[in-house]
Amino acid sequence: MDKAFINKLLVDVRSGRVSVEQALEELKAFPMENIGFARVDHHRAIRRGQPEVIYAPGKKDKQILEISKKIVTSGCDVLISRFEAARFKQLSKGIKSVQYFPDARLGLILSGRKKKPLRQTKRLVLVCSGGTSDIPVAEEAALTAWVMGCPVERLYDVGVAGLHRLLEGKELLRKAAVIIVVAGMEGALPSVVGGLVDKPVIAVPTSIGYGASFGGLAALLAMLNSCASGVTVVNIDNGFGAGVAAAMIARIAVEN
């Protein structure tokens, strides 16, 4: 349940359009509902200001469907991460309104009749990627921030192998409130961006690279040792975590 749902319910009770008994029926599964294999958190949207998130790997299609239905019925949006295309086809048979973003491997179900997530800030989140191979993780970050109510722009394929490509996007770097930088290989791009801007930079190492990149460990260690002060680092391939962090920062950012 989100704040809008609770506010409307309280207003309806006060006006007499909804009885106390009806309101109690609406709230009977609040804030947590035990459905046997899972405990659905209906309170997350109010407590955290984000949609409920279902991590798809390890879950059966039927479990994802049942959890999703419970959440949407209570007035919350649902984001499904690491969601493969074949599994989306199965879910769409049970929930027609589910949207799929193949590059990011994300599913999205909006509650009510919303066409897109509600805008919660005007502050821009910019997502940069080192190379095109990093785009899946970058898209996971970008779409997560968008679902959490932020305007999002992208600046892709601007890695250190050709720094003039990054400088071409200097206007976006200037406008952004928060910048997410996604890179594999040696993971140098966040340091470059961090040295150019006066705003938070969230670095995301990816598992892209040849053998000595050790599945993203080389990029992770490089980002943790960034010579640009103020660069924050999330885990390897964790575009979702970067998107959440960026959205939370953008929503509390104050205009200069």
Show the domains of the chain with their CATH numbers.
7-109 (no CATH), 125-252 (3.40.50.1970)
User: Is the CB of residue 54 less than 8 Å from the CB of residue 35?
Assistant: no
Alpha carbons 175 and 127: distance in angstroms, whole number: 12
Place of tokens 């179900």: 109
Mean pLDDT computed over every residue of the chain? 87
**Which 8-state DSSP code applies to residue 145?**
H
Alpha carbons 149 and 169: distance in angstroms, whole number: 23
Place of tokens 């409920």: 52
Spatial CA neighbour of 70 closest among 84, 54, 49, 86: 54
Q: For 144-161, how does the pLDDT look when each residue is reduced to its tens digit (9 = 90+)?
A: 999 998 999 999 998 888
Residue 2 pLDDT more than 60? no
- Predicted pLDDT of residue 40: 75
Q: For 25-39, how does the pLDDT look when each residue is reduced to its tens digit (9 = 90+)?
A: 766 656 766 667 776
DSSP-derived 3-state class of residue 136 = helix
Alpha carbons 180 and 242: distance in angstroms, whole number: 7
Alpha carbons 53 and 77: distance in angstroms, whole number: 9
* Mean pLDDT value across residues 200-204: 97
- Predicted pLDDT of residue 238: 95
- Predicted pLDDT of residue 69: 83
User: Partners of 180 in the beta sheet?
Assistant: 127, 202
* C-beta atoms surrounding 2 within 10 Å: 21
Half-sphere exposure of 224 (CA within 13 A, CB side): 9
